[in-house]
Amino acid sequence: MIFEYAPAPESREVVDIRPSYGLFINGEFVDGSGTPFKTVNPASEETLAEVATATEADVDRAVQAARKAFGVWSALPGSERAKYLFRIARIIQERARELAVLESLDNGKPIKESRDVDLPLVAAHFFYYAGWADKLQYAGYGTTPLGVAGQVIPWNFPLLMLAWKIAPALACGNTVVLKPAETTPLTALLFAEICQQADLPPGVVNIVTGAGDTGAAVVGHPDVDKVAFTGSTEVGRLIARAVAGTTKKVTLELGGKAANIVFDDAAIDQAVEGIVTGIFFNQGHVCCAGSRLLVQESVAEELLSSLKRRLSTLRLGDPLDKNTDIGAINSAAQLAKIRELSEAGEAEGASRWSPACALPEKGFWFPPTVFTGVSQSHRIAREEIFGPVLSVLTFRTPAEAVEKANNTPYGLSAGVWTEKASRMLWMANRLRAGVVWSNTFNKFDPTSPFGGYKESGYGREGGRHGLEAYLKEIS
């Protein structure tokens, strides 16, 4: 019997999108001096709103506002700063549905993810760092804030990356100028409203929108004490260059090409789920995505047939439908990049497979895709695709698995699937990755530090360790 799920769309009426948005500077929305840009719904290509572009002068105003607010904010007792952060966290929970719908509209991710993953984590981050604000002396990194933090975030988890950046910065007594990605500025601007609602002192949080030039202005501003960036390794390099020779403190959270390693004694059904979560969560727009499946050759065939069957049940389509598993690719540019690398995969001799999957006519879409017969020397095994594309490689022994997993310029995350605890620990000790997930993948928690080795960046975000990036070193 065919059991067809009827459409179950979340209502977009819960969110009020304004036709145009300004910059959020010194507690107020102001016009930008640059040419405004449009942000579109990637699932339909419809324009959602027009958003201001911050020029260098606008960024300067924002930094000045942040500098002025720093005096007030850093002088508050930690317990007072905590009150604001707790208040923000609670408002986020109260307005979670609105934020989730807006996130899905602007980003293209399925509502079940923005509702069940992004928003709960966003609130959890603010709650968690609110708790640290009056306990900094116990964290071991001193208690002196740095000053003004310039923060540039990506489009894959717009609001969650904002939370990762703003919550620890504010808890430590810093003020921020944050630039959201140009394709996903809307939830950051709604967050600005939440700052107003929470009566946050003006200038503590400033949001400047725009493209790369705006980001460069934030990073390059001489009165910025700290730069925090999440995004591509390419831009990370530019930033590292820009701040070299200055006193700015920097954390970079960049790309990844994580190995998800499945041993022959793994819990196969759960490993299949972990592979799906690893690479198809958020359309694979995840820096720590498990984009390389390393499977022990003895179970490769069995695992792949289970995986293919499972992928056939994935539901691709309207991000606002509560039953959608795979949403839209965030932008035309990203779609072009995914296509280019997938074509390279085929050209290099890997075999490509996707489940039968109708793609909507409008919008940016890419079907879940698996490449088998991939070698370490293929581009799709080396380069970050940042899309729903899995490269499958095989290995014979634990040592070979480690060797292949580590043989990448990146080192953000890894996953290991085995029922044998001693092997799990042996692997975890040898994998050069910031996060090693044991019999799970893409699990996040505000208490857990996150960050990379090698070209995946430096510094840690989250947990007690995340405070270090926003406090002056103890001399």
Partner 1 sequence: MSIPTASSNASLRAFLHGLPGVDRVGADARAAGLGTRSIKTTAKRQAIDLAISMVDLTTLEGADTRGKVRAMCAKAVHPDPTDPTVPKVAAVCVYPDLVAEARDVVGSSGVKVASVATAFPSGRSSLEVKVADTAMAVAAGADEIDMVIDRGAFLSGDYVKVFEEIQAIKAACGEAHLKVILETGELATYDNVRRASWLAMLAGGDFIKTSTGKVQPAATLPVTLVMLEAVRDFRDREGRMVGVKPAGGIRTTKDAIKMLVLVNETAGPDWLDPDWFRLGASSVLNDLLMQRQKLTTGRYAGPDYFTLD
- If residue 413 lies in a helix (H) or strand (E), which one and from where to where? strand 413-417
Catalytic residue, from 10, 287, 288, 468: name it. Answer: 287
For partner 1, the closer of residues 310 and 432 by Cβ is 310
Distance of alpha carbon 95 from the chain centroid: 21
Query: From edge to edge, which strands make up the β-sheet containing 226-230?
Result: 28-30, 23-25, 205-207, 175-179, 148-152, 226-230, 249-253, 457-458
Tell me the closest approach of the beta carbon of residue 263 to partner 1, in angstroms: 11
Nearer to partner 1 among residue 332 and residue 357 (C-beta): 357
Q: Give the nearest distance from C-beta 315 to partner 1 in angstroms.
A: 9
Residue with Cβ nearer partner 1 (24 or 437): 437
With respect to partner 1, which residue has the nearer C-beta, 98 or 265?
Answer: 265
Contact between 318 and 12 under an 8 Å Cβ cutoff? The reply is no
Please give the residue ranges that form the binding site for partner 1 (CB under 8 A). 1-8, 112, 116, 265-270, 273-274, 313, 322-323, 419, 439-440
* Nearer of residues 112 and 454 to partner 1, judged by Cβ: 112
Q: How far is the CB of 325 from partner 1 (least distance, A)?
A: 9
Catalytic residue check, 253:
yes
Helix/strand/coil for 386: coil
288 is catalytic: no
Angle between helices 78-94 and 186-197 (to 10 degrees): 120
Least distance CB 326 / partner 1 (angstroms): 14
Cβ distance to partner 1 smaller for residue 143 or 439: 439
Q: Based on C-alpha coordinates, what's the Rg of the chain?
A: 22
DSSP, collapsed to helix, strand or coil, labels residue 93 as helix
CA distance 314 to 311: 5
Provide the minimum distance between the beta carbon of 314 and partner 1 in the complex, in angstroms, as a whole number. Answer: 10
Q: In whole angstroms, what is the distance from residue 157 CA to residue 136 CA?
A: 27
Query: Cβ distance 53 to 40 under 8 Å?
Result: no
Structure tokens at 254: 């960049």
Query: What is the distance between the alpha carbons of residues 382 and 344, in angstroms, rounded to a whole number?
Result: 12
Least separation, in Å, of the C-beta of 153 and partner 1? 27
Whole-number minimum distance, CB 280 to partner 1, in Å?
13
Q: How far is CA 135 from CA 166, 319, 349, in A?
A: 18, 40, 56
> 432 in helix, strand or coil?
coil
DSSP 8-state class, residue 471: B
Task: Give the nearer residue to partner 1 in terms of CB position, either 197 or 270.
Answer: 270
**Catalytic residue from among 10, 103, 182, 253:** 253
How far apart (Å, rounded) are the C-alpha atoms in residues 431 and 438? 12
Are the C-beta atoms of 364 and 108 separated by less than 8 Å? yes
Residues annotated as catalytic are 253, 287
